[in-house]
Amino acid sequence: MSEAILEPDLPIIDPHHHLWDLRPLMGAFPEPVHHFISSIALSAYYTFNELHADTTSGHNVIGTVFMECGAFYKAGAGDELKVVGEVEYVNGVAAQSASGLYGSQRLCHAIVGHADLTLGSRAGAVLDTLAAAGGGRFRGIRHAAAWDADPDVLGPPFHHPAGLYLDSKFREGFAELGKRGLTFDAWLLEPQLDDVLSLAKAFPNQPIVLDHCGTPLGMGSYHGKLHERFDTWRTKIRAIAECPNVSIKLGGLAMSFAGLPDHGPAAGLSSETLAAMWRPYIETCIEAFGPERGMFESNYPVDKWGASYPVLWNAFKRLTTGASANEKRALYAGTAAKFYGIEDLLPA
């Protein structure tokens, strides 16, 4: 679907996107193919050229933050250090963008990698190696904890253990982030939100950002239950927002997990339709966290399941028509810049 770009001059820092080449893996998943696999198959190859095309498709994207996704791991490096390959690769993409040959925007200006925090204190050495590989762009890690007893909710790519954020060895590794001033991205599912609340309270000085509005669920055994689970989700979001060290990413609702929309890929819905669908979740998050701890995200190319890049950001802009100029500056760029330490991207 093609739409006129709303507020085309509004500066945007997209704080959550991936880069990958999943083509060698697409035959590894059993049939019937899970909806999530169908969505990533839309962009099984998504690197600099694809990201550049999306971020220059009309909205004023001045910079981005890369989010780990298990891509381009280093062969032969061993389980602990193979993750360094991803940061090395993305730092090269960032350098390509920073050359200026492709415009003034700065893609992958900050890099969020992955380290296995269940290594405990040994995770510190991995974090140091990631930082060295990031060329000054490495900002922190994401260690996802998404899990559900129903295997149809997540599908075959995800095998995180239950209760990961409560595990003592994980928390020993988590403490290494604070020693280095690094950020943490938390991804888990709505029924697990108490786990991130516990983690945030246990480490009140550690900057944490909750990905994807806490990932409300509309898949598997949760299909058709978004409405009945909304109050539970909202109560947990409000409780997490009481922790001043936690911010939230406003997006991820176009993933197949949420069922918003419940059909895809590339559903072709208008930004008006998507905005109406997402409004209860986005407005709840902004009311709870405030613009200074909320940041809109594309989660591309995963959210291509439900919306093209231009339509996705149009939907967000429809949700903030009543916001002040200062609130918009925070939600679309300022909060992300502050959280990830990339204020140099912001317009003077």
> Is residue 300 domain-resident?
yes
Q: Quick one: pLDDT at residue 33?
A: 46
The pLDDT tens digits for 141-188 are: 999 999 999 888 887 666 789 999 999 999 999 999 999 999 999 999
> Is residue 135 domain-resident?
yes
Q: Quick one: pLDDT at residue 32?
A: 43
> Is residue 6 domain-resident?
no
Q: Quick one: pLDDT at residue 28?
A: 54
Domain limits for position 82: 11-345
Give the number of domains in the chain: 1
Q: Quick one: pLDDT at residue 326?
A: 98
> Is residue 181 domain-resident?
yes
CB atoms within 10 A of CB 282: 22
Distance CA(207)–CA(203), nearest Å, equals: 9
> Is residue 205 domain-resident?
yes
> Is residue 1 domain-resident?
no
Task: Using the structure block, give the residue that is written with the tokens 């996704």.
Answer: 69
pLDDT one digit per residue (tens) for the chain, 348 residues: 689 999 999 999 999 999 999 877 655 555 444 455 555 556 789 999 999 999 999 999 999 999 999 999 999 999 999 999 999 999 999 999 999 999 999 999 999 999 999 999 999 999 999 999 999 999 999 999 999 998 888 876 667 899 999 999 999 999 999 999 999 999 999 999 999 999 999 999 999 999 999 999 998 899 999 999 999 999 999 999 999 999 999 999 998 888 888 776 666 899 999 999 999 999 999 999 999 999 999 999 999 988 999 999 999 999 999 999 999 999 999 999 999 999 999 998
> Is residue 3 domain-resident?
no
Looking up residue 217, the CATH number of its domain turns out to be: 3.20.20.140
